[in-house]
Amino acid sequence: MLKLITPPSTEPITLAEAKTAIDELTTDRDSKITPAIKAAREEAENYQNRRYVTQTWELTLDYLPVLPLELGDPPLQSVEYIKLYDADGNEVTVDVADFIVDKDSEPGRICFKKGKAWPAIELREIACFKVQFKLGVLPSELSKIPERVKQAIAVFVKYKVDGVETDQIPSAFYNLLGTDRRIPV
């Protein structure tokens, strides 16, 4: 089970940037634009199978994973912890330093360093493995997010704010995102 623990604290584009992109000069619709930016980011992330701004995720499994283990949508920023739960439900923290954290692959992944292995303990039947990790770029590195992603977000915001009477998201949104779309296999 993959669960969002901490959502992004900022968005890839600011309210001011969104307003400029959609030619909005007043503050009348700010209360519609702000949630539209979040919805646009979420739709874009899900379409591209990428995460744009720092967010913390947790993966829980009912078994010890085969390594290397892929961690969420790229880019992988860091691995916060790896925990096991023994048959009595006691938490056993596994040292992240025992792993190679591959942040360059898409998606990022982990595997044991040479000579390291899972501790020899009996595990509980369900939710015996947890790994928490951060995805996306740091808020201070928003310039690393491609301009076409920011443009796609603006297209989506305009579509949402203008109240178009259709459920059809403009094709320009998907066209802008198609170049860097990652399709999981």
pLDDT in tens, 75-94: 999 999 999 999 999 999 99
Task: Assign 3-state DSSP to the chain and report helix, strand, coil percentages, each to 5.
Answer: 30, 25, 45
Please give the structure tokens belonging to residue 116.
């390291």
Say what percent of the chain tops pLDDT 70: 99
Mean pLDDT along residues 134-150: 96
The candidate with the shortest Cα–Cα distance to 137, out of 34, 29, 31, 53, is 53
**Poorest-pLDDT segment among 15-19, 104-108, 152-156, 163-167:** 163-167
β-strand partners of 59:
2, 131
pLDDT of residue 164: 67
Residue 177 near residue 46, CB atoms below 8 Å: no
> pLDDT tens for residues 30-53?
999 999 999 999 999 999 999 999
Average model confidence (pLDDT) across the chain: 95
Distance CA 9, CA 48 (A): 20
> Is 161 in a helix, a strand, or coil?
helix
Query: Is residue 131 a contact partner of residue 67, using CB atoms and an 8 Å limit?
Result: no
Residue 132 φ then ψ, to 5°: -115, 140
At residue 141 the predicted structure's pLDDT band, cuts being 50, 70 and 90, is very high
Average pLDDT over residues 13-36: 92
As beta bridge partners, residue 3 has: 58
Spatial distance between the Cα atoms of 112 and 6, rounded to a whole number of angstroms: 26
Shortest CA distance to 72 belongs to which of 8, 142, 131?
A: 131
Q: What is residue 6's predicted lDDT score, i.e. its pLDDT? A: 98
pTM score of the predicted model:
0.92
Residue-wise pLDDT tens digits, 150-184: 999 999 999 999 876 777 899 999 999 999 999 98
Q: How far apart are CA 28 and CA 162, in angstroms?
A: 12
